[in-house]
């Protein structure tokens, strides 16, 4: 792997660096040097990486508490959270000790919430090992777990002291685990950085290769988008009328999270968000905000990298109930982050796409958009 290393600083009140590149895991010991004890939360799939890290921390004179956690979404439960708290308690963890989350987004979401809640907050370092973890979950300070009622319903905003994206970790990631990360990458393309979309369209095979310079470039661009959005609105508090702050990063997630809930979290998050983006683009098109071209580009790009773009045509009622619990809802009003390329003045070629909020669309429109993506042609009647 010849990708260069680079650092992106997330400019929030307490700025921190995201290091990206092959071999950057070497930076982790320095980030926790001040702690006597270091807990590493990790799934079994990251054992090799964790063993090397553990050796370096022990060599640095630290006491390491390894906390193995269940794989994927099974880690994001109240039971696993309680087990982690018990492990820290038994190890005598104090406020000067550190938690490191090594794994995919599920692990770093859990590790972040453990760090946020133990003694009301201890130092956190995230070491994402999936594409999705690197480009999204480990950066930005959203931490949490799922409940039976819905996705990420319990959590905290809690920022890491550092994020370390060692691109060599992606070598062992099966392609079916890489693709969900590409959904969040493509999300960043639609909401903020069209060069991402061109790269995916022009270098479709290369962006699915963990060793490629193209994928490293997508990681850099996506983290840049995320860092810029969270620096402006860390706590997702800018949501007045149709203005969109951090909720921009939730593009495609209203339906996506409802699919995950209906699948009892057995669908990968990125796959559900992929369908969710196709849906919300169709919804925006039907509401008169988005052109046919931009709407259909969603399914084209997402399917070109093997992501799903449709779901069970009979699931609408269940999904509507799931969407009601979305964090963007206010009372019984659903709110969708949408893209709009119809409001700006000028001819079609010069129009630009902007994000806005679609507030309380009629249920009939929600249902018709759902039927359209799962059956009728997407460019059919509104």
Ligand X SMILES: NC(=O)c1ccc[n+]([C@@H]2O[C@H](COP(=O)([O-])OP(=O)(O)OC[C@H]3O[C@@H](n4cnc5c(N)ncnc54)[C@H](O)[C@@H]3O)[C@@H](O)[C@H]2O)c1
Ligand Y SMILES: O=C(O)C(=O)C[C@@H](O)[C@H](O)[C@H](O)COP(=O)(O)O
Q: Would you tell me which residues interact with ligand Y (CB under 6 A)?
A: 136, 140, 142, 151-152, 184, 246, 249-250, 253, 327
The answer to whether residue 107 forms part of the interface with ligand X (CB under 6 A) is yes
Q: Which stretch binds ligand X (CB under 6 A): 169-177, 189-197, 340-348, 370-378?
A: 169-177
**In terms of CB distance, is 47 or 91 closer to ligand X?**
47
Q: Kindly identify the residues of this chain, within the stretch 59-98, that bind ligand X according to CB under 6 A.
A: 71-73, 76
- Identify the CA nearest to 272 among candidates 357, 150, 143: 150
Provide the minimum distance between the beta carbon of 246 and ligand X in the complex, in angstroms, as a whole number: 10
Residue ranges in the chain assigned as alpha helix (H): 28-31, 47-59, 78-90, 105-117, 131-132, 175-191, 194-202, 213-232, 253-262, 269-286, 292-304, 316-323, 363-374
Contact partner at residue 45 from ligand X, ligand Y, none, CB < 5 to 8 Å by partner kind: ligand X
Beta bridge mates, 17: 9, 162
Which residue in 101, 104, 245, 308 binds ligand X (CB under 6 A)? 104
**In terms of CB distance, is 20 or 49 closer to ligand Y?**
20
Which residue in 65, 81, 106, 115 binds ligand X (CB under 6 A)? 106
The DSSP output letter for 133 is I
CB 132 within 8 A of CB 270: yes
Beta bridge mates, 338: 356
Beta bridge mates, 65: 39
* Secondary structure (3-state) at 121: coil
Contact partner at residue 361 from ligand Y, ligand X, none, CB < 5 to 8 Å by partner kind: none
**In terms of CB distance, is 173 or 275 closer to ligand X?**
173
Structure tokens at 328: 């963007």
Provide the minimum distance between the beta carbon of 232 and ligand Y in the complex, in angstroms, as a whole number: 12
Which residue in 22, 101, 140, 256 binds ligand X (CB under 6 A)? 140
- Of all residues in the shown chain, the one whose CB is closest to ligand Y is 152
Measured distance CA(302)–CA(307) in Å, rounded: 5
Q: Kindly identify the residues of this chain, within the stretch 118-137, that bind ligand X according to CB under 6 A.
A: 129-130, 132-133, 136-137
Q: Which residues are documented as binding site?
A: 71-76, 105-109, 129-130, 142, 151, 184, 253, 269
**In terms of CB distance, is 133 or 276 closer to ligand X?**
133
Q: Which residues are documented as binding site for Zn(2+)?
A: 184, 253, 269
Provide the minimum distance between the beta carbon of 151 and ligand Y in the complex, in angstroms, as a whole number: 6
**Residue 306: CB partners within 8 Å, gap ≥ 6?**
175, 179, 208
Measured distance CA(100)–CA(220) in Å, rounded: 22
**In terms of CB distance, is 173 or 295 closer to ligand X?**
173
CA 214 to chain centre: 20
Measured distance CA(378)–CA(184) in Å, rounded: 22
Provide the minimum distance between the beta carbon of 49 and ligand X in the complex, in angstroms, as a whole number: 7
Structure tokens at 248: 């921009």
Provide the minimum distance between the beta carbon of 80 and ligand X in the complex, in angstroms, as a whole number: 12
- Active-site annotation, residues: 120, 142, 184, 226, 236, 246, 250, 253, 257, 269
**In terms of CB distance, is 257 or 285 closer to ligand Y?**
257
Determine the angle formed by the axes of helices 175-191 and 292-304, rounding to 10 degrees.
Answer: 160
Buried b (16+ CB within 10 A) or exposed e, 230-251: bbebbebeebeeeebbbbbbbb
In degrees and rounded to multiples of 5, residue 208 shows phi and psi of -100, 5
**In terms of CB distance, is 214 or 236 closer to ligand X?**
236
Provide the minimum distance between the beta carbon of 211 and ligand Y in the complex, in angstroms, as a whole number: 25
Determine if residue 117 is left, alpha or beta; phi over 0 gives left, psi from -120 to 50 gives alpha, anything else beta.
alpha
Which residue in 22, 101, 105, 276 binds ligand X (CB under 6 A)? 105
The DSSP output letter for 1 is -
State the DSSP H helix or E strand holding residue 151, giving kind and residue range, or none if neither: strand 150-157
Which residue in 31, 69, 173, 223 binds ligand X (CB under 6 A)? 173
The answer to whether residue 270 forms part of the interface with ligand X (CB under 6 A) is yes
The answer to whether residue 180 forms part of the interface with ligand X (CB under 6 A) is yes
Measured distance CA(344)–CA(166) in Å, rounded: 41
Q: Report the interface residues with ligand X, using CB under 6 A.
A: 43, 45-46, 71-73, 76, 103-107, 109, 129-130, 132-133, 136-137, 140, 142, 152, 169, 172-173, 177, 180, 268-270
């Amino acid at each position: 792997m010849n990708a260069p290393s680079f650092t992106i600083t997330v400019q929030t009140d307490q700025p921190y660096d995201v290091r990206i590149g092959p071999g950057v895991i070497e930076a982790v010991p320095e980030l926790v040097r001040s702690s006597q004890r270091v807990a590493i939360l990790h799934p079994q799939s990251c054992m090799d990486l964790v063993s090397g890290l553990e050796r370096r921390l022990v060599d640095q004179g630290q006491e390491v508490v390894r906390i193995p956690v269940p794989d994927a979404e099974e880690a994001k439960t109240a039971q696993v959270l309680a087990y982690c708290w018990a492990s820290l308690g038994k190890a005598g963890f104090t406020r000067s000790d550190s938690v490191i989350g090594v794994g995919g987004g599920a692990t770093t979401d859990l590790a972040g919430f453990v760090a946020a809640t133990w003694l009301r907050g201890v130092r956190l370092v995230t070491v994402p090992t999936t594409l999705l973890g690197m480009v999204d979950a480990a950066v930005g300070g959203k931490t949490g777990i799922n409940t039976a009622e819905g996705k990420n319903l319990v959590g905290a905003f809690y920022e890491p002291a550092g994020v370390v994206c060692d691109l060599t970790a992606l070598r062992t990631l099966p392609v079916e685990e890489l693709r969900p990360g590409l959904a969040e990458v493509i999300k960043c393309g639609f909401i903020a950085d069209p060069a991402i979309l061109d790269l995916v369209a022009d270098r479709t095979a290369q962006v699915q290769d963990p060793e490629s310079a193209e994928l490293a470039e997508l990681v850099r661009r996506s983290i840049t988008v995320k860092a810029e959005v969270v620096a402006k609105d860390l706590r997702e508090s800018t949501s007045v009328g149709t203005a969109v702050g951090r909720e921009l990063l939730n593009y495609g997630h209203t339906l996506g999270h409802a699919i995950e809930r209906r699948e009892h979290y057995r669908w990968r998050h990125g796959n559900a968000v992929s369908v969710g983006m196709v849906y919300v683009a169709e919804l925006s098109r039907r509401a008169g905000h988005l052109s046919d071209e931009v709407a259909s580009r969603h399914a084209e790009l997402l399917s070109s990298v093997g992501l799903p773009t449709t779901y069970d045509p009979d699931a609408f009622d269940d999904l509507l109930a799931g969407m009601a619990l979305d964090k963007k809802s206010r009372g019984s009003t659903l709110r969708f982050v949408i893209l709009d390329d119809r409001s700006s003045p000028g001819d079609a070629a010069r129009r630009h796409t902007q994000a806005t909020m679609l507030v309380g669309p009629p249920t009939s429109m929600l249902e018709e958009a759902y039927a359209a993506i799962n059956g009728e042609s997407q460019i059919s009647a509104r």
